[in-house]
Amino acid sequence: MLAAIVNSVFAWNPGRVSLSGMKLYSYFRSSAAFRARIALNLKGIDYETVSVHLVKDGGHNRRPEYRAVNPQMRVPALVTAIGDVLVQSLAIIEYLDETHPDPPLLPKDPIARAHCRALANIVACDIHPLNNTSPLRYLKRELHLEQSAIDAWYHHWVIEGFEAYETLAQGTPYSCGTQVTMADVLLIPQVANARRLKVPLDKFPKIVAIETACLKLPAFDRARPENQPDAE
């Protein structure tokens, strides 16, 4: 019901038909939505894309219609075939992995699984929260920092997180070995953001190699921001 209301307000791409009945509220440049798109693609799940622009008119995510779907007013939000609304990208990815187990996004071995989750959490818990749109806007609007200082803040937390990731990842050719995992699903959107904001990646050859390997896969390539229906 809530999703039906929002669909009347937010444009979606009618050329992409969902055979699964799933609908993803997304913004082309959101790295969290990028993660969900990768996971859906890896699982071979068709979905409708509903664009929620995070910048125009103060952010369409702040409209009451979208807040009714996701009280956090963030993307992504996934509406399942039976109408359940899921939020938070990691929760969405784990739901997809549990309900569509092939191919698995977590290793079978408990230690390897914990290691994979740790890599994913370096991005999801340590890098991304400090560099998301909301904190960056707060630095600018409330603390009145210059853009150069905000950029330095962004670079610092990406580099600090990538230094740990570079050490812990296998990179043969993916983050956890020969199979794509949740760690790669989290890493690649963060690398894309780092490139867009000109973070130097020379110190991270393993991460760059993982990025190269992943982007050769159609599931990652189709999920890239520039390949989305709302790309600008």
Q: Give pLDDT tens digits for 119-149.
A: 999 999 999 999 888 888 899 889 998 999 9
Domains recognised in the chain with CATH numbers:
2-103+221-227 (3.40.30.10), 110-218 (1.20.1050.10)
Residue 51 phi, psi (nearest 5): -80, 125
pLDDT at 3 over 70: no
- Mean residue pLDDT of the chain comes to 91
Q: Name the burial class of residue 21, with classes exposed (0-12), middle (13-18) and buried (19+) by CB atoms within 10 angstroms of its CB.
A: middle
Residue pair 9/62 in contact (Cβ under 8 Å)? The answer is no
Comparing 129 with 167, the larger pLDDT belongs to: 167
Higher pLDDT, 93 or 144: 93
Report pLDDT digits (tens) over 18-56: 556 899 999 999 999 999 999 999 999 999 999 999 999
Per-residue pLDDT band for 94 (boundaries 50, 70, 90) equals: very high
Percent of the chain with pLDDT over 90: 82
Closest residue by Cα to residue 12 from 40, 41, 51: 51
Burial class from Cβ neighbours inside 10 Å (0-12, 13-18, 19+) for residue 92 reads buried
